[in-house]
Amino acid sequence: MDAIEQRITEQGNKVRSLKSSKADKDVITAEVAILNTLKAELKALSLSDPDAAAAAAATPAGKPGKTDDKKGKGAFTLKNAKGTKDYTPQEMAVREKIFSTIIKVFKKHGGITIDTPVFELKEILSGKYGEDSKLIYDLEDQGGEKCSLRYDLTVPFARFLAMNGKEYQNIKRYHIAKVYRRDQPAMTKGRMREFYQCDFDVAGTYDAMIPDSEILRVLTECLTELELGDFTIKLNHRKILDGIFEVCGVPEDKIRTISSAVDKLDKLPWADVRKEMTEDKGLDPQAADLIGEYVQLKGGAELLERLYADAKLGANTRAKEGLDDMTLLFKYLDVLNVTRYISFDLSLARGLDYYTGLIYEAVLEGSAPPTLANGERARATVKKGTDELDENTVGVGSIAAGGRYDNLVGMFSGTNKKGQPNLVIPCVGISIGVERVFSILMQKQKKEEIKSNEVEVYVVGLGGVSVEERMKICTELWDAGIKAEFAYKLKPRTQNQWDVCDRDMIPFAVIVGGDEIEKGLIKIKDMRSKDESQKGGIEYPRTQMIAEIKSRLAQL
């Protein structure tokens, strides 16, 4: 689209040049025809692109792309691209705390980090995300390669392992980076088109359910440390789910698409999910009813006993393997002190195609859509005239999710003569959605109460103390590893310096005046306290400044 717009600009300039030079009328007519053809091509492309169509609809007829005259020539309509946002210093302080909290947990469990490109070859991402593949951002062909922005961090990790498998047969990897999805945004609920994911994955061949159980321990530690409130981790197993579909009569070629429908049970009532299965996806109504009896079950380890006792399910090979895995998992979760957070929920399906075993997602009490007066959950609706979700009709959704994906690396490694993958590296992992965590934490605090910097000491100069003297004191503080600032004015007003301490919530001030300099003294004032006994600060020898400041900081 950008290329056509550029050609339109060039062609328009050509037409104007011909008119100004009073060229032959037939020549001008021919060039105008070319210009009109290009404009028609651009309009057709715009109508096939929802974002561009919405922008075109918002532009007055006959004035495409015209700048508001009141803004002056060359002025822009300043706004963020849909599904993206800027973050203020206060918001970034909260986000940095989220990142540091999560990274600390990841490192505690032996995680090492990698990075991958923000875009991948289109063929790498294609066919890995089921029905969600339509949300991938495709890029224009540049230099002969068709690329797409990464949809998650899991597929790029699998591609990394396929390329470097000999060196990284076993790895605990974490990766924190932005991903991109052409989804319907709901900004205040953390549903965005550009957002961060925090992934922790264990790759390698190990005994069953041991790494899976530690992944769940990592997740509970992260969510507890983030102080989000009570949370639940819903568990299921793809083999159990596939076994249920088999015994209920779902054809093999419909298992994934029916699984995707079941995954909507946290947002839609069973009647709507059943309708999608039968009317939209052609499933036999009797099979749908049988599925409904299973997928509405939830509980703890006791649910396993009920499923083992089900004759049809117990006789299904896939289901039996899944039940055995879950039995072992619950045993390990008890040891790791995680069981109290767990709900074994047969409605959990996880729509992504690459999961092969255990699947899970974490939800908070406020994760679900709002409850209506009749007791039903609100259904997501789109704001009139846009493709953005009405944020009053949606919840935050899951704040973390993941599962086991044993075959994804092999999909990139090619096959041998027997048709088997050249490289098999089983993997299990978790992904924490930073934007959703952030939206929850921001609702719990006021922006004005957030300290956006880490400055610990402000050097206040009184009575015309030179900037060089304030610089010297700051240098002493910096050399001692203390975070400090001073005013960038030769003669700052005293009140302005106090105002900075209050605005930036700086806990301590080192105060220096002409008399103090001559006597080798400084004063220290606790800016958090309004205790009158401090008056203008407590006096100390300059040589004791560092020790006293460090002592006070240690008590914060």
Ranges of beta strands (E only) in 286-379 are 298-299, 342-345, 358-364
Q: Write a three-state SS string for 3-67.
A: HHHHHHHHHHHHHHHHHHCCCCHHHHHHHHHHHHHHHHHHHHHHHHCHHHHHHHHHCCCCCCCCC
DSSP element (H, E) containing 539? strand 538-541
How far is it, in rounded angstroms, from Cα 226 to Cα 437? 8
Q: Is 181 annotated as a binding residue?
A: yes
Are 203 and 437 spatial neighbours (Cβ–Cβ below 8 Å)? Answer: no
How far is it, in rounded angstroms, from Cα 248 to Cα 240? 12
484, β-bridge pairs: 457
Are 156 and 129 spatial neighbours (Cβ–Cβ below 8 Å)? Answer: no
C-alpha atoms less than 13 angstroms from C-alpha of 226 in its C-beta half-sphere: 32
How far is it, in rounded angstroms, from Cα 307 to Cα 319? 9
Q: Is 405 annotated as a binding residue?
A: no
How far is it, in rounded angstroms, from Cα 3 to Cα 237? 48
Q: Is 443 annotated as a binding residue?
A: no
Q: Is 555 annotated as a binding residue?
A: no
Looking up tokens 């935050």, which residue turns up?
A: 396
Are 385 and 434 spatial neighbours (Cβ–Cβ below 8 Å)? Answer: no
Q: Is 196 annotated as a binding residue?
A: no
Q: Is 350 annotated as a binding residue?
A: yes
Q: Is 152 annotated as a binding residue?
A: yes
Write the single-letter amino acid at 147. C
Phi, psi of 75 (to 5 degrees): -75, 150
Report the SS3 class of residue 368. Answer: coil
C-alpha atoms less than 13 angstroms from C-alpha of 289 in its C-beta half-sphere: 3
Exposure string of 208-228, with b = 16+ CB inside 10 Å and e = fewer, is: ebebbbbbbbbbbbbbeebeb
Longest dimension (CA), the chain: 93
Question: Per the structure block, which two tokens stand in for 226?
Answer: 């983030």
Q: Is 531 annotated as a binding residue?
A: no
Are 485 and 458 spatial neighbours (Cβ–Cβ below 8 Å)? Answer: yes
402, β-bridge pairs: 360, 430
How far is it, in rounded angstroms, from Cα 136 to Cα 363? 25
Listing DSSP states for 481-520 in one string gives: T--EEE-SSSS--HHHHHHHHHHTT--EEEEE-HHHHHHT
Q: Is 420 annotated as a binding residue?
A: no
Tally of residues, the chain: 556
Using left for φ > 0, alpha for ψ between -120 and 50, and beta otherwise, residue 217 falls in: alpha
Binding region for L-histidine? 152-154, 181, 197, 201, 350, 354-355
Binding region? 152-154, 181, 197, 201, 350, 354-355
